Amino acid sequence: MSMNRRAMLRQAGVGAAALLLNPLAATAQDKMFTLPKLPYDYDALEPSIDKLTMEIHHDKHHQAYVTNLNNALKAQPDLFKEPIETILRNIDKVDAKIKQAVINNGGGHANHTMFWEIMGPKGGGKPAGKLAEAITSTFTSLDKLQELVNTKGLGQFGSGWSWLIVGKDKKLDVISTANQDSPLLTGATPVLGVDVWEHAYYLKYKNLRGDYLKAWWNVVNWANVGERFDKAMKG
């Protein structure tokens, strides 16, 4: 057995050892999480988000979260049956040994999967329908909401996200979280989120996080955000 494999087994625990030694004995591996395909070309969000940033962000960063999530869950393989959102909402059911790894990498997977979908090449403009009404009644205007999201994003010290969420009380709110902490961990439902990790903007915007945040609104896919809002209000 190579050192690598030995180290993997030690790290992943007995459940994973059984899987690795006898892959035919279990099907959990078939249900491992996979990197979703980007729903548009890497250069589709230019000039707001450059092609190279999208390539590295999706193919390397998001892939790493998926790989590390799968590695962690080998210690509790029954969780492969659950959608990542369900795992995060029920984080207390995750074994203490792997809980932080699931918060970090499961959060990374969920956050980025949503991030790709709430952006698009024909983005920008304004929300419609019930989401538009709720934004106006909660924040007075779209401008105010954008200002609040940008302020939270700028104020997030270090890495994290700025979010528009539907809270447990079914009200809209703007929050920021550190690292890859998902709003799902506290029972809220994210409907829009902007990644303020340096890997999301540094190649093009360098230290100017505020410029990135301003430009980011040009690629928001409001139709997708609206669907998430409608679902969160029903759920």
Residue with nearest beta carbon to Mn ion: 195
Among 54, 195, 224, 225, binds Mn ion (CB under 5 A): 195
Three-state secondary structure call for residue 44: coil
Site string for Mn ion, 144-183 (x = CB under 5 A): ----------------------------------------
Taking the least distance from each CB to Mn ion, the nearer of 181 and 195 is 195
Stretch that binds Mn ion, among 77-85, 172-180, 187-195, 215-223 (CB under 5 A): 187-195
| Rounded Cα gap, residues 224 and 200, in angstroms | 20
Sign of CA dihedral 222, 227, 230, 232: negative
Instruction: Provide the CA 222 distance to its chain's centre, in angstroms.
Output: 17
Question: Minimal distance in Å, beta carbon 115 to Mn ion?
Answer: 7
Question: Minimal distance in Å, beta carbon 118 to Mn ion?
Answer: 13
Taking the least distance from each CB to Mn ion, the nearer of 76 and 111 is 111
Among 33, 197, 217, 222, binds Mn ion (CB under 5 A): 197
Size of the site for Mn ion (CB under 5 A): 3
Stretch that binds Mn ion, among 8-16, 89-97, 118-126, 194-202 (CB under 5 A): 194-202
Taking the least distance from each CB to Mn ion, the nearer of 69 and 200 is 200
| Rounded Cα gap, residues 15 and 20, in angstroms | 9
Question: Minimal distance in Å, beta carbon 74 to Mn ion?
Answer: 24
| Rounded Cα gap, residues 94 and 103, in angstroms | 10
Taking the least distance from each CB to Mn ion, the nearer of 192 and 200 is 200
Question: Minimal distance in Å, beta carbon 150 to Mn ion?
Answer: 17
Question: Is 116 a binder of Mn ion (CB under 5 A)?
Answer: no
| Rounded Cα gap, residues 170 and 137, in angstroms | 13
Quick one: 116 exposed, middle or buried, by C-beta within 10 A (0-12, 13-18, 19+)? buried
| Rounded Cα gap, residues 43 and 82, in angstroms | 33
Question: Minimal distance in Å, beta carbon 2 to Mn ion?
Answer: 32
Are 115 and 193 within 8 A, CB to CB? yes
Question: Minimal distance in Å, beta carbon 135 to Mn ion?
Answer: 25
Sign of CA dihedral 161, 226, 41, 38: positive
Are 9 and 19 within 8 A, CB to CB? no
The label of the residue with tokens 């934004």 reads 135
Q: Which residues bind Mn ion (CB under 5 A)?
A: 195, 197, 200
